């Protein structure tokens, strides 16, 4: 018998000063049996950084054809495709052909650095790709917040995220490894 996903609820209060976006999102996250708390919380952080009413979680690890998060426009075209981890560069090329904007949140310390070194040359050719790297300290602090019912606050300003949950607030500063050039 296959293991089922574990369901988590998150009440996410956002104050994104960079985008002038202030909202509370009641979210339900399904964590695949093979997914870690750290990865699930990176997905939640990705949601916070790109939040709007059309952004939704994909089917997750069980489906290769969908990203971790995506936003489709009103015509059904994919406006934003977000992946977490170190996706295969062939998969990212395919995503870049299907979506207007593709974002990767890589994490994992040395594993993320090796992935970037191995794929950098190929990924730099994708004109609609953004690659953000998260420090291990940040993703571990996010994972420490996991509970079946979470209440989190995220305030974003100047590329930094102040995360408040149970315990002391902490900062997450995604490092931009690759960003689309202004055309």
Instruction: Enumerate the domain spans of the chain.
Output: 6-178
pTM of the model: 0.93
CA–CA separation, 56 vs 61, rounded Å? 15
pLDDT tens, position by position, 26-79:
999 999 888 999 999 999 999 999 999 999 998 765 556 789 999 999 999 999
Nearest Cα neighbor of 161 from 9, 17, 8 is 17
143, 148, 150, 156 alpha-carbon torsion, rounded to 10°:
40
For the CA atoms of the chain, what is the radius of gyration? 16
Question: Which residues partner with 57 through β-bridges?
Answer: 69
Which pLDDT score is estimated for 2?
A: 65
Task: Report residue 104 as tokens.
Answer: 């990767």
Query: Which of 23, 43, 123 is closest to 84 using CA atoms?
Result: 43
DSSP 4: P
**Treating both helix axes as pointing N-terminal to C-terminal, what angle do 37-50 and 136-143 enclose, rounded to 10 degrees?**
100
Residue-wise pLDDT for 125-143, tens only, equals 999 999 999 999 999 999 9
| CATH fold for the domain made of 6-178 | Restriction endonuclease-like alpha-beta roll fold (3.10.640)
- Beta strands at 99-106 and 69-72: parallel, antiparallel or unpaired: unpaired
């Amino acid at each position: 018998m296959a293991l089922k996903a574990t369901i988590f609820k998150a009440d996410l209060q956002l104050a994104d000063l960079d985008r002038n976006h202030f909202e509370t999102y009641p979210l339900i996250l399904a964590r695949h049996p093979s997914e870690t708390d750290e990865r699930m919380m990176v997905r939640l952080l990705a949601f916070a950084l790109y939040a709007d009413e059309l952004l939704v979680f994909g089917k997750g690890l069980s489906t290769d054809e969908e990203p971790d998060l995506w936003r489709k426009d009103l015509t059904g075209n994919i406006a934003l495709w977000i992946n977490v981890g170190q996706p295969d560069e062939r998969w990212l090329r395919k995503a870049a052909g299907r979506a207007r904007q593709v974002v990767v949140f890589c994490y994992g310390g040395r594993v993320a650095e090796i992935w970037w070194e191995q794929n950098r040359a190929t990924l730099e050719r994708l004109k609609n790709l953004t690659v953000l790297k998260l420090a291990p300290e940040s993703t571990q602090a996010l994972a420490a917040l996991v509970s079946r019912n979470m209440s989190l606050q995220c305030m974003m300003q100047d590329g930094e995220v102040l995360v408040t949950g149970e315990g002391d607030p902490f900062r997450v500063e995604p490092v931009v490894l690759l960003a689309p050039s202004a055309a």
